[in-house]
Amino acid sequence: MQNLLCTPHGYYFRMRVPQRYRDHFKRREFKKSLKTVDLQEAQKKALCLAAQIEDCIQRLDVLKGYRMARLPLFTDIKVAEVAVTRDGYRIIGLETDPLHAETEAAQARELYAAAEAAHLKFVNDTPPVPVPVQDDSAAPVKLFAQLIEDFVAEKMISGSWKNARTKGRKQQLLRCLEYFGNCNIATITRDDAMQFMQTVMKLPLNIKKNKRFDGMTLTEIATKNKGPTLSPKSINMLMTDIASLFKWCKRFGYIENNNFEGLSVKETAQEITQRLPYTTAELKLLFNDTIFQHQKCEASEVFIPLIGLFTGARLNEICQLHTDDIQEIGGIWTIDINTNDEQKSVKTKDSRRIIPLHPDIITAGFIKYVQKLKPGRVFPNLKHKDGTFSADYTKRFKTVRDRAGIAKADFHSFRHLFSSEMEKRNIPEHLVAMLLGHHHQQITFSRYGGPKDIERLAEIVNSLTFPITIPAWNN
């Protein structure tokens, strides 16, 4: 059934809004969770929803005169103009004929009855017949908590938010809900939004893990906190997600102004550059660790940093690899960053790419290791947690970094180093974008293809040299 969408969380109903009513409904598509994983139940619910929407659209068509030729209602009376507004429908005028005043009055009453049956408010400048005015104060208002649920659901269904990031981003929104309460968000002013940001700036790291703050409000926590606070980057990420929610609410008519728009804190040069590329000395310290030299560990702990160093790939992109993502193309071994599995995710559509493997990775025994595996994931010891495969590995890698005495660089610093090496070699930006999975205007397709691309990119990757030596994997 074309109106059904199957997701890991169950079935969703989807139906396109006719072009003529997109301004009225403030959306291009109707979307709703059917709250079931059973196909037959989902089909029944979807049919009911489709019928209800079709009926509503037919009534709208009647009111706007789209089907007047087919309807007795419009045999003698014609709607001259009907404007769709946020408050309902406004009749600008009706064609009238003095010889048929009674008939037209009766048919006008039918017109208003049709509006009432469709639960639509009808606003009139000069009504030809008395029409009761609907009380705006009685209209239901969606409160903050429900708006967050609707917003997150739409982001998930549309694919704007991936599973890997949804939980964390929703937590950001819930922090705002915790501060303001489950209120009508139209009551939140610009001053309120600025006060919220001031409070967030004083919050400690890892609030949930600090039992000292149990039972306190965010305002109380901010007042009592005397330790380290959230970084400007973390604050700005939170404010950006909240501003995105309020922008969505404005688009659908829940608020008139986005009072969180543009709110952010300034990041200093030191904070912006705090995650630096690895230096030559740090690489030597890191890869001289016993993990790499004696390999009394899982294969993931040896190969993931190597792949990160020589490809610039993001951590989770490497952790989620499948054995069939390791491919030989034209005699060149590559890794395929894709989303062909429901548990995989990428940051953007441009992140899907193919990257040639450096000879040092192959010399370290990576291909032989993969070829011995059963079809499935390359690093099966890494479990899927909170939408990613990288959570557990992050802790292990931190242990190695701490032993090496490396404080400011982390796994993402491999990506910074790769980018820096590309810049030193004056590699064209569009080729670097292909390797790192960035958007670039010269790249006309979301994924490059063909041996010529692979050969050129392999030349670039193979030009990298780092002062490390790792024994071949024999476990």
pLDDT single digits (tens) 279-332 = 999 999 999 999 999 888 999 999 999 999 999 999 999 999 999 999 999 899
Residue pLDDT, tens place only, 415-425: 999 999 999 99
- Cβ neighbours of residue 32 under 8 Å, at least 6 residues apart? 12, 13, 49
- Residue 98 and residue 75: Cα distance in Å, rounded? 16
DSSP code for 385? B
Residue 429 or residue 140, greater confidence? 429
- Residue 271 and residue 3: Cα distance in Å, rounded? 48
Segment of 7-11, 271-275, 306-310, 425-429 carrying the highest mean pLDDT: 306-310
Residue 356 binned pLDDT confidence (cut-offs 50, 70, 90) = very high
Q: 157: which 2 tokens?
A: 């269904």
User: Closest by alpha carbon to 467, among 308, 287, 324?
Assistant: 287
**Domain residue ranges of the chain, discontinuous segments joined by +:** 4-136, 144-268, 280-462
Mean pLDDT for the chain?
79
Collapsing DSSP to helix, strand or coil, 322 comes out as: strand
Predicted structure pTM score: 0.56
The answer to whether residue 96 scores a pLDDT higher than 80 is no
The answer to whether residue 50 scores a pLDDT higher than 80 is no
Residue pLDDT, tens place only, 11-40: 888 888 877 777 777 777 878 888 887 777
The answer to whether residue 92 scores a pLDDT higher than 80 is no
| Bridge partners, residue 122, by sequence | 89
pLDDT average, residue stretch 3-12: 76
Q: What is the pLDDT of residue 84?
A: 43
Q: What is the pLDDT of residue 133?
A: 41
pLDDT average, residue stretch 145-172: 78
Residue owning tokens 């600008």? 92
Q: What is the pLDDT of residue 366?
A: 96
Angle at the Cα of 10 from the Cα atoms of 385 and 149, rounded to 5 degrees: 75
Question: For residues 96 and 104, is the Cβ–Cβ distance under 8 A?
Answer: yes
pLDDT average, residue stretch 59-74: 47
Q: 197: which 2 tokens?
A: 């940001």
Type of residue found at 447: R
Q: Specify the fold of 280-462.
A: hpI Integrase; Chain A (1.10.443)
Q: What is the pLDDT of residue 33?
A: 83
Q: What is the pLDDT of residue 209?
A: 75
The answer to whether residue 138 scores a pLDDT higher than 80 is no
- Residue 74 and residue 104: Cα distance in Å, rounded? 9
Type of residue found at 162: K
Question: For residues 203 and 224, is the Cβ–Cβ distance under 8 A?
Answer: no
Neighbours of 287 (CB within 10 A): 22
pLDDT average, residue stretch 121-144: 50
Residue 449 or residue 13, greater confidence? 13
The answer to whether residue 351 scores a pLDDT higher than 80 is yes
- Residue 212 and residue 235: Cα distance in Å, rounded? 22
- Of the chain, the percentage scoring pLDDT greater than 90 comes to 34
Neighbours of 403 (CB within 10 A): 13
- Residue 7 and residue 105: Cα distance in Å, rounded? 51
Phi and psi of 360, rounded to 5°? Answer: -65, -30
Residue 445 binned pLDDT confidence (cut-offs 50, 70, 90) = very low
Angle at the Cα of 317 from the Cα atoms of 445 and 369, rounded to 5 degrees: 115
The answer to whether residue 121 scores a pLDDT higher than 70 is no
Neighbours of 128 (CB within 10 A): 19
The answer to whether residue 461 scores a pLDDT higher than 90 is yes
The answer to whether residue 130 scores a pLDDT higher than 60 is no
Q: What is the pLDDT of residue 16?
A: 81
- Cβ neighbours of residue 108 under 8 Å, at least 6 residues apart? 77, 94, 128, 129
| Bridge partners, residue 332, by sequence | 329
pLDDT average, residue stretch 393-404: 91
Residue 274 binned pLDDT confidence (cut-offs 50, 70, 90) = low
pLDDT average, residue stretch 94-123: 55
pLDDT average, residue stretch 450-475: 87
Q: What is the pLDDT of residue 463?
A: 94
Q: What is the pLDDT of residue 314?
A: 94
Residue pLDDT, tens place only, 174-187: 889 988 888 889 89
Q: What is the DSSP code string of 396-447?
A: HHHHHHHHHT--S--THHHHHHHHHHHHHTT--HHHHHHHHT---TT--SSS
Q: What is the pLDDT of residue 162?
A: 64
The answer to whether residue 466 scores a pLDDT higher than 90 is yes
Q: What is the pLDDT of residue 287?
A: 94
Question: For residues 81 and 92, is the Cβ–Cβ distance under 8 A?
Answer: yes
Q: What is the pLDDT of residue 62?
A: 61
Question: For residues 166 and 387, is the Cβ–Cβ distance under 8 A?
Answer: yes
- Residue 86 and residue 251: Cα distance in Å, rounded? 12
The answer to whether residue 229 scores a pLDDT higher than 50 is yes
In order of 300, 316, 327, the CA distances from 320 in angstroms are 11, 6, 15
